[in-house]
Every structure is written in C-alpha cells, then in structure tokens.
Amino acid sequence: MASNLRLRLGTRASPLARWQAQWVAGRLAELGIETVLVPISTRGDQQRTGPIGAIGGQGVFTKELQRALVDGEIDLAVHSLKDLPTDVVARLALAAVPARGPLGDVLISRNGERFDELPREAAVGTGSLRRRTQLWHARPDLRMEDVRGNVETRVAKLRDGAFDALVLAEAGLERLGLAGEITQRLPLSLMLPAVGQGALGVESRADDKDTLTLFAPLNDAETQCAVAAERSMLAALRGGCLAPVGGWGRVIEDRLHLSGVVLSADGTRRVFAELSGGVTDPVALGQAVAAELFSQGAGELIEGARALR
C-alpha cells in the first residue's frame, strides 16, 4: 500500500465530484480504512467555456487524476465513469465499480413543460452531442445551446432565462439533493444514457495489490458487468466519450442485455442495436453490439460527428 496511515483519495473539486469522493470515503471508513481527500484541478475544470471537444476532447476530466496516480501523488481516484476514457492506461487498474445510481437523463424546464410540451424552437441547454442528437432526432425544431459549468450553475442559468429547458443526468441531481428540480425523467426509448452514466469508477495503480484488495468490497458485480459491456462497445466503436453514442447495459435473470445507439451530428440518422448474452463475457457482448452498429453505418456517423468537433 502506498500509504501506511491513510489513503490519499484524488478528486476533482466540483461539488458533485466531492460528493462522489466523500461517498467512497464513507464506504471505506465503514471498512476501517481512513482516507484524506486531495483536490486536483483538471483541464475541463480550468476551461469552463466552449465545447468540451475544443479543449482537448475525452479525458479532460480524468487525465490529471490519472497522472497523479501514476506519479504516486495519490493512492486512488474517484471518477464519474462516463468521463473515463476506455483507453487502457499503463500501470492503472479500475479497482471497483460500486452499485450504479440512476442512469438516465432528465429534463428541467423553466415553465414546467414536459419534453413534448416544449414550444417550437425552444432553447435547450446541453453541452453533450449524445444528448442533442437524440433530442433532435425526436424534435428537430429545438434549438440547442451549449452550456458548461457545474450542475448548480447550469440550473441557475436556466432560472435566469438563458434557456427554456436543460437536460442533465439524474444521478448528479439526486446526489446533490436537487432531484426536486426535475420536470421529467426522459424515457430510454427517447434518450439512451452515456456509457457508464450513473456509475462511479475507483481507480488505483495496478501494482498496488494491497490497496486493490481493500477496494474489493466496494464492487458491485452486476454494475461492473453492465458497464464493462457498455465500455467495450464504445471502445470497439472508437467513438470516445464525446461521440453521439448511447449505451445501456443491464443484468436480468443472469443474462446481460446491451442496447446501443449512434446518431449523425444533426440527429437525422439513427442506428440502434440490442443483444444479450451470458454475464461471464461482457466484453464480447459489447464488441458484438458494436459490430451490429457498424453494419448499419455507425462508423460513418461517428466520423461525420468527429469532423465537426
């Protein structure tokens, strides 16, 4: 173990990231493991304006944490798993995936309208290409407005009249005690979540066997299986976490089911695939769903979206 006294837990400094880190610290405390939080500023935190893709793309919220792990400055990092790239980082391992929170997206509207009730050409705040393409597929009349900042900042902008509605992850609102702001939980038939959305990832050094063993009780086998399939699909698609790709893995009666969707940048084209398999090989299921999506033209859609970033 890198620290004989207490583990150094690296986290972004945003309120949601600190909540997530403190939640993990609390679970470790129940196991008799002491931690100290180490705030680390990421590139995504430092540059809070403009599209994410314009400031470095995937990994903007995780690279500095991973670098601190590799350099031995911290002993573990807590990530929102949807932000963690699927590329393998030498010397690091995903030590635990706790039980998933709510995985879907929600609508918060300024005047209480549900999605179908939003006025024509309503302004919807979201910085996510995955969200805006799925929204456009259902409502091409909507105006999408880029929005950055933490959850509270985005909600405040909505209340100040910057948008007619916002789309956010339900998990973040729930964890921050803001679930009461939700107007509508968007159905998965309309909006598949980001790969890993609602789940946390606890990352550590691969050679720190003592620490890895300590994290084992935090792991939830069904969540780990589901997100492994989702991440395998995304890796095979070579889309990255900013691509217009959604995924939903779930274990039902000892069978793993995976749904995947890819859209064009303007939302006009949508390809969808859904397969099931055994829980023992989630990676293979993810690759199979990706192959089915490729057969429907997903590669062209992803490349087209990447060219616009």
Tell me which residues are annotated as active site: 83
State the burial class of residue 68 (Cβ atoms within 10 Å of its Cβ: 0-12, 13-18, 19+).
middle
Q: 3-class DSSP state for residue 43?
A: helix
Q: Which of 87, 125, 121 is nearest to 106 (CA)?
A: 125
Helices (H) and strands (E) in the chain, counts: 10, 13
Q: How many alpha carbons lie under 13 Å from residue 57 in its C-beta half-sphere?
A: 10
Q: 3-class DSSP state for residue 244?
A: coil
Q: How far is it, in rounded angstroms, from Cα 303 to Cα 268?
A: 15
Q: At what angle do helices 298-307 and 221-237 cross, to 10 degrees?
A: 80
